Amino acid sequence: MDGLRESPHVSVNKLGRYLTATPALRKQLIQAQKHPPDPRYLRYPEAAQAITDFLCRGQDEALLRQHQHRLATTVHEEAFDTHRAQLCIEAIERYRALHPSLGLRGVVASEVGHEPPALRVAGVSIRVWPQVVLQAVDRYGHNKVGVMKLYFSKHHPLDERSGQYIATLLKAFAEQHLAPLGPVEPRLVRVVDVFAGREYLAPKAQERRLCDVRLACEEIAARWAVQ
């Protein structure tokens, strides 16, 4: 464990699930965010880094195979690390199969970095943390910008509503922090559910979803101290 979070925090992926969850699951999600696991026990950081590397270095599939080979040939002392490597190899393979359908040819990707700023809504810090910034030039020569967020879960795929909530928050993140790079292009705002093989784009209608996010954050802030 890395300790109790004193102020309300939530990851954008968990918030996406929270917004469509039952009351019991919402309680569990707050508890999980308030008492986060030790970073050593996160399951997919190597897969996220491999896909980020692939996107930012010319989308050469050889890079994905290199990461898979490294994961497959590394000897681990703990069974958890061996299992995590296997999961990451599978996640990379799922993304490799999905990538051609994402239409990213001609799009330039760059790494966001390890500590991107959070969004703050109703007293809650939302950790958006997209993996890459996406940039493209339109037919008039104007630069457009967006971001991509990778979602990894074998047993809890996103549904249409949760995927669009996450994409809405990604767009808000891009508008707030990436304006110097150019206007945000909704088609460049992507949530990629790796195991489900689906992507979700930022929807045009955002006001209602942002209102839902605000209400959810008010609830999280109110329940934080008693969870």
Query: For the chain, what are the domain ranges?
Result: 1-227
pLDDT score for 99: 96
Which two tokens mark 9? 């925090």
**Per-residue pLDDT tens digits for 30-48:** 888 887 766 665 788 999 9
The span from the CA of 1 to the CA of 225, in Å, is 19
In DSSP terms, 193 is beta-bridged to 151, 198
**Per-residue pLDDT tens digits for 154-202:** 988 999 999 999 999 999 999 989 888 889 999 999 999 999 999 999 8
Which two tokens mark 214? 């605000």
Binned at pLDDT 50, 70 and 90, residue 4 comes out as very low
Average pLDDT on 200-224 reads: 90
Buried b (16+ CB within 10 A) or exposed e, 199-226: bbbbbeebeebeeebeebbeebbeebee
Q: CB neighbours (10 Å) of residue 132?
A: 23
pLDDT score for 151: 95
Q: How many helices (H) and strands (E) does the chain have?
A: 7, 8
